[in-house]
């Protein structure tokens, strides 16, 4: 018996990239998985098909995490399809690196609405069903510590995720619900390719050169959905 047999997980932004890999890994360990997507139904369906082909259970569920009703719907889909909720992975996010002079209200609010408010709304909906032993995993980023030029807004959202995780771990700890952050480094995904990010340049940059120099240019908008 796999260690997550009988458990149910929700992974937001799981139609591709890190979210898709997490959903597949949870399913491989025996969990039934809600594969959430914001826009890429085809991607989410592909993830679900791969899980089912491997003998797992999964369902694709649309929903914009930054809207309260839709965030609630994502969680309720877990209850409707699988009868319970044990694990929440808040993976949905967007990133766009731009210099200070290019920051707009739209740029700011889109990042904070999805990366921060979305996390809070889905978590708020989830805690109604998470019981003792439940686990919430928030996807952070090394960007909150590397703090490279042109990333003021995105790095700010990930710093907020770090702080929120600490607060919620204390708030939900008495209910025996664990809250943790995972902060990936540079991971080769569809997002890094569409953003034209040169991973090899980052990895092999000279030791004497600050690591943030590899980030010192503008990235186009990339969604993890």
Q: What is the pLDDT of residues 27-51, one digit of tens each?
A: 999 999 999 999 999 999 999 999 9
Average pLDDT over residues 156-169: 97
Query: Does some domain include residue 2?
Result: no
Average pLDDT, the chain: 87
Query: Does some domain include residue 3?
Result: no
The domain that contains 210 carries what CATH number?
Answer: 3.40.50.720
Average pLDDT over residues 185-208: 49
pTM for the model stands at 0.85
Tell me the pLDDT tens digit for each residue of 106-148. Answer: 999 999 999 999 999 999 999 999 999 999 999 999 888 888 8
The model's confidence at residue 206, banded by pLDDT at 50, 70 and 90, is very low
Main-chain phi, psi angles of 33, to 5 degrees: -125, 130
- The pLDDT value given to residue 190: 56
Average pLDDT over residues 145-172: 94
Query: Does some domain include residue 49?
Result: yes
Please give the positions annotated as active site: 154
Pairwise CA distance, residues 13 & 71, whole Å: 12
Is the model's pLDDT at 89 over the cut of 60? yes
If you ran DSSP here, which 8-state letter would residue 221 be given? P
Q: How far is CA 151 from CA 52, 53, 101, 142, in A?
A: 38, 39, 12, 12
Residue 141 belongs to what domain range?
8-224
Pairwise CA distance, residues 25 & 18, whole Å: 10
Number of domains in the chain: 1
Query: Does some domain include residue 1?
Result: no
Query: Does some domain include residue 184?
Result: yes
H or E stretch at 169: helix 152-172
Q: What percent of the chain has pLDDT over 90?
A: 76
Is the model's pLDDT at 12 over the cut of 50? yes
Average pLDDT over residues 10-18: 97
């Amino acid at each position: 018996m796999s260690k997550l047999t009988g458990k149910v997980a929700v992974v937001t932004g799981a139609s591709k990239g890190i979210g898709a890999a997490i959903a597949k890994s949870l399913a491989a360990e025996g969990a039934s998985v809600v594969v959430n997507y914001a826009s890429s139904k085809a991607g989410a369906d592909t993830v679900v098909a791969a899980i089912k082909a491997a003998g797992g259970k999964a369902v694709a569920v649309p929903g914009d995490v930054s809207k309260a009703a839709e965030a609630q719907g994502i969680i309720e889909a877990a209850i409707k399809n699988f009868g319970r909720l044990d694990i929440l992975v808040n993976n949905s996010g967007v990133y766009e690196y731009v210099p200070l002079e290019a920051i707009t209200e739209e740029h700011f609010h889109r990042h904070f609405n999805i990366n921060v408010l979305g996390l809070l709304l889905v978590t708020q909906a989830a805690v109604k069903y998470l019981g003792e032993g439940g686990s919430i995993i928030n996807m952070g980023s090394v960007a909150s510590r590397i703090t490279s030029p042109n990333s003021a807004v995105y790095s700010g959202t990930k710093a907020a995720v770090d702080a929120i995780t600490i607060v919620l771990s204390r708030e939900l700890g008495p209910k025996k619900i664990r809250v943790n952050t995972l902060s990936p480094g540079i991971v080769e995904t569809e997002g890094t390719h569409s953003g034209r990010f040169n991973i090899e340049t980052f990895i092999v940059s000279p030791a004497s050169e600050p690591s943030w120099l590899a980030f010192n240019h503008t990235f186009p908008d990339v969604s993890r959905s």
